[in-house]
Structure 1
Amino acid sequence: MKSNHHLSKRGLKAAEKPLRVDMDIYFQAMEDRYHHYTNPEGKFPMNVAENQLCWDALKEKIQAITKSQEIPDWVSSYGDPAGVLSLREASAHFLSGYLTHVPIPPETLAFSSGATSVIELTSFLLADHGDTAVIPAPSYPVYSADIGVIPGIKRYNLQTHHEIEEIKNGIPLSIELLEKSKLEIESSGSNFRMLILTTPDNPTGSIYSEDQLNHLADWCIKNEIHLIVNEIYGLSRIDTSNPEIKEDYPNPIHFVSFAQLMAERRNPYLHFWYSFSKDFGISGFRVGLLHSYNEDLIGGYRNAGLSHSVSNYTQWILTEVLKDRIFLDAYIETNQKALTTSYLMVVRCLKKSEIPFNPSYGSLFVWADLSEFLLENSDKGQHDLWLDIYQHSGILFTPGAGFGHQKKGLFRLVISSVDHQALEVAMERFSAYITKRRNT
């Protein structure tokens, strides 16, 4: 009997399952976006991880490049699938100078069209279909699709804590928890192949300490498990010394790039992800990178990566931006100040409303606990609360579904997706929503 379906099983699964449960409402909110003059009753899309704070400065820089320089002829031809040499060299200098603070050899870098592509291709090359990647929960929901749809890797959400209070001094990821996870995964017939960490973390804003990264790296090397650290928010850091929030960090953790540990060990099981999407606010440019001393991995990336390549025109533009250290100095400083201002505005509101949240070291988020407003402690209750906030305040947060965390009622607030004037209005509306809910 012939099937009525005209797609493969994989195609049907892709067609039926949305990438994110919040995207339809996100597009609605974008069409009715708040503007203080033209649409004062509009919506606030604060659910997608975009940084809109300093685009004007970067746009001006890019326009100056395109006006003053002739497009090189190589842009119209095929290039190295892993990234042209000029971009790899410029990016190596950029990372060394601003994020990793250790030299990055250009030959250890490989580029793809965005962070999603980097995650997908790296996973495809490191793990076999049916293997498992362990990711501490809560974590980026779309990791599931990035590692699962094409690489066919299972996601294991490792529960390191239950309450927000438990991560105020860092993510309590221990060797004991990893050993327990390894036993459970192997008992199920799978293979613990990858450990994926994000620092600063999405959604909690926490960071891993240098000692913690060292212990985790040693354990992964010993067990022949690939440890990949995603530093996509590496330069989107909050000024935790600001007097208004300094007391929120009684035991401050110093950010150390995982690339420093990699440079010391040069081990084939240690890898690093980065993208220009968040720190530079150019998610639409689609530029992500892998850094690894595993020569076979870089070689495989180059051989398999043609369909993931970044356009040569984009590579040229980004290379020219990265060459200007004076611009980069000013841009990164301005961006971090603007991000800190946004963070202060949000946590000021949360503190006034007595909403628990995790003090953030970086990223574009605040992870807040709204569980007191759940009508039922379930996925449905969480979803209903998320919709209720949007319908009565016009603020669209990221729903808790997909982050892999067991506790219900936790939401991600993207603090960089609207400007400061709009964010102030959004927080006023949110405060009014909280007051009304508590009085009913």
Structure 2
Amino acid sequence: MGVMNLDQPQLLSKIAMGDGHGEASSYFDGWKAYDKDPFHPSKNPHGVIQMGLAENQLTADMVQNWIMSNPEASICTLEGVHNFKQMANFQDYHGLPEFRNAVAKFMSRTRGNRVTFDPERIVMSGGATGAHEATAFCLADRGEALLVPTPYYPGFDRDLRWRTGVKLVPVICESSNNFKLTKQALEEAYEKAKEDNIRFKGLLITNPSNPLGTVMDRNTLRTVITFINEKRIHLISDEIYAATVFSHPSFISIAEIIEHDTDIECDRNLVHIVYSLSKDMGFPGFRVGIIYSYNDTVVDCTRKMSSFGLVSTQTQYLIAKMLSDDDFVEKFLPESAKRLAQRYRVFTGGLIKVGIKCLQSNGGLFVWMDLRGLLKNATFESEIELWRVIIHEVKINVSPGVSFHCSEPGWFRVCYANMDDRDVQIALQRIRSFVTQNNKEAMGSDKNSKPYWHSNLRLSLKPRRFDDIMMSPHSPIPQSPLVKATT
């Protein structure tokens, strides 16, 4: 065996050798814990239940029924195979015209038909992940920065930073005002970064919010537009949860503000929207991401970049047929909202019964759960310790707030739309067992002491009959209010 030459140049790139992907996060660690021990009602009833994945499976039956009723929409059926050659050979990175037309029309519908979208500005990408990266490449150079209100989706650290070299600077939002974005928070983050000699190129917002499940009101959106125009920086509005809003207040797109609120100054060249069908339609595996920019240069550049992550023509063809079916879309959107509202009521109602409250929300596929009262200390170390108990002993994968860059320990994102009714009830049963046991043990100790749970807590996860634990879907359960910050 030869001796290694220590002076030998590095054989791999810095990206390959580094950890810029952001995978070293409790957010992804929870997924790994689930992958190692996935729950199955019969094969592995004591496994980890996946509640860290924001998937929408509540309307899968509607999509499946449409596909079965429209076999010609697929080029892999007897009814549609005559289009196989044409679709298999299509390579234009502009995308199928009928696909862009259908997506533009669907985007308008998910925004209440209050705005229209130009199909010529629809740019394809491999999911919202690719859409965000391509947009970041166009707006900022390596070392430049985007402002991002907290808490924010952990994947942004990968999507916008890893390969582009762009920095993300947090805008601190707090529970005292329901984590609402304010002008003061924007100005403070901007001025602090200027003191640190960071050059800003844009602001990234998510509306509806991931992980909060809340929507931005008109005044907040007007504040955002005024801010980016004053600072002459770009705005990226992530609207991938637009059609998951299930109750009032309704979702307002940034497109609606710039089209209708003519009393405020707005340079449209600074505004860019990221969208996808992963959440609204439950199609994450189809990798349908959309960039919609009001800037001609950005449209041109991101369209060229889309060559690195095109949506397959077969998928475009199917999606175009589905979204062009007016009857289907008109039935799908309200039914999806109805099912999400029902699941939200059932899940938050189950949490309320054991004294766990959440930030009041009306969108997304998750809740922002408040477990500050279960922390031994008001620290992120205590939050992670509690999270490990929930993962390894309660056997539920939830995502701790620290992975979302939350400024306050004790908040957790819990996804509720990626499973059936039975699994939701099993998850609630486990949470009830955990809280009940914790309360009993705490009562046996000093009443003024902190929560009594410990790292080797063991719970009885003996399965119960579904009928025994199922709550009536028709029972009125109030929405959970925000718990006021403790002192």
* TM-score normalised over the length of structure 1: 0.90
Deviation at 1:31, TM superposition (A): 6.1
Partner in structure 2 of residue 11 of structure 1: 16
- From 208, 216, 223, the equivalent of 2:216 is 208
Q: Deviations over 1:55-101 (max 9, x none)?
A: 23213323533243233433223533243322111111111223252
Deviation at 1:303, TM superposition (A): 2.1
Matched, 1:127 2:140: yes
- From 221, 246, 249, the equivalent of 1:238 is 246
The one-letter amino acid of 2:100's match is: R
Distance 1:388 1:320 in 2: 47
Partner in structure 2 of residue 96 of structure 1: 108
Partner in structure 2 of residue 222 of structure 1: 230
Deviation at 1:35, TM superposition (A): 4.2
Distance 1:160 1:123 in 2: 23
Q: What does residue range 104-143 of structure 1 map to in structure 2 within 5 Å?
A: 104-143=117-156
Partner in structure 2 of residue 367 of structure 1: 368
The one-letter amino acid of 1:185's match is: A
Moved more, 278-287 or 188-197: 188-197
Q: Secondary structure at the match of 2:274?
A: strand
Matched, 1:315 2:316: yes
Distance 2:162 2:335 in 1: 38
Deviation at 1:266, TM superposition (A): 6.6
Deviation at 1:211, TM superposition (A): 2.1
Question: Over aligned residue pairs, what C-alpha RMSD do you find?
Answer: 2.2
Greater Rg by CA: 2
Partner in structure 2 of residue 420 of structure 1: 421
Distance 2:403 2:173 in 1: 16
The one-letter amino acid of 1:69's match is: G
Distance 1:432 1:82 in 2: 54
Q: What does residue range 251-400 of structure 1 map to in structure 2 within 5 Å?
A: 253-264=249-260, 267-400=268-401
Distance 1:19 1:120 in 2: 20
Deviation at 1:126, TM superposition (A): 0.7
The one-letter amino acid of 2:55's match is: E
Deviation at 1:225, TM superposition (A): 1.0
The one-letter amino acid of 2:171's match is: L
State whether residues 20 and 162 of structure 2, in contact with CA within 8 Å, keep that contact through their aligned partners in structure 1.
Answer: no
Flag structure 2 segments of 5+ consecutive residues without an equivalent.
1-5, 261-265, 442-487
Deviation at 1:16, TM superposition (A): 8.5
Moved more, 295-304 or 32-41: 32-41
Distance 1:227 1:62 in 2: 37
Distance 1:423 1:31 in 2: 20
State whether residues 120 and 147 of structure 1, in contact with CA within 8 Å, keep that contact through their aligned partners in structure 2.
Answer: yes
State whether residues 139 and 203 of structure 1, in contact with CA within 8 Å, keep that contact through their aligned partners in structure 2.
Answer: yes
Distance 1:126 1:233 in 2: 23
Moved more, 39-48 or 401-410: 39-48
Q: Secondary structure at the match of 1:235?
A: helix
The one-letter amino acid of 1:8's match is: S
- From 186, 191, 203, the equivalent of 2:194 is 186
Partner in structure 2 of residue 49 of structure 1: 54
Matched, 1:86 2:86: no
Q: Secondary structure at the match of 1:133?
A: strand
Moved more, 67-76 or 315-324: 67-76
Q: CA 1:431–1:276 in structure 2 vs 1: closer, same or farther (change >3 Å)?
A: same
Distance 2:21 2:289 in 1: 28
Deviation at 1:413, TM superposition (A): 0.5
The sequence identity of aligned pairs, in percent, is 28
Q: Which has the higher contact order (CA 8 A, sep 6+)?
A: 1
Partner in structure 2 of residue 246 of structure 1: none
The one-letter amino acid of 2:217's match is: S
Moved more, 67-76 or 189-198: 67-76
Deviation at 1:399, TM superposition (A): 2.4
Q: Deviations over 1:238-287 (max 9, x none)?
A: 235xxxxxxxxxxxx44222221233457101111111001111111101
Partner in structure 1 of residue 460 of structure 2: none
How many pairs are equivalent? 423
Q: Deviations over 1:329-357 (max 9, x none)?
A: 22222221221121111111222222231
The one-letter amino acid of 2:252's match is: V
Q: Deviations over 1:119-172 (max 9, x none)?
A: 0000110111111111111110111111111121111111121x3x521xxx43
State whether residues 237 and 254 of structure 2, in contact with CA within 8 Å, keep that contact through their aligned partners in structure 1.
Answer: yes
Distance 1:409 1:103 in 2: 41
Q: CA 1:193–1:389 in structure 2 vs 1: closer, same or farther (change >3 Å)?
A: same
Q: What does residue range 28-67 of structure 1 map to in structure 2 within 5 Å?
A: 28-30=33-35, 32-63=37-68, 64=71, 65-66=73-74, 67=77
Partner in structure 1 of residue 411 of structure 2: 410
The one-letter amino acid of 2:164's match is: P
Deviation at 1:370, TM superposition (A): 0.9
Distance 1:3 1:186 in 2: 40
* TM-score normalised over the length of structure 2: 0.82
State whether residues 31 and 397 of structure 2, in contact with CA within 8 Å, keep that contact through their aligned partners in structure 1.
Answer: yes
Partner in structure 2 of residue 159 of structure 1: 172
Deviation at 1:295, TM superposition (A): 0.6
Distance 1:406 1:366 in 2: 17
Q: What does residue range 66-81 of structure 1 map to in structure 2 within 5 Å?
A: 66=74, 67=77, 68-70=79-81, 71-81=83-93
Q: Deviations over 1:276-322 (max 9, x none)?
A: 00111111110110112111110111222211211111111111111
Matched, 1:150 2:155: no
State whether residues 15 and 163 of structure 2, in contact with CA within 8 Å, keep that contact through their aligned partners in structure 1.
Answer: no
Q: Secondary structure at the match of 2:364?
A: coil
Flag structure 1 segments of 5+ consecutive residues without an equivalent.
241-252
Q: Secondary structure at the match of 2:244?
A: coil
Distance 1:36 1:239 in 2: 32
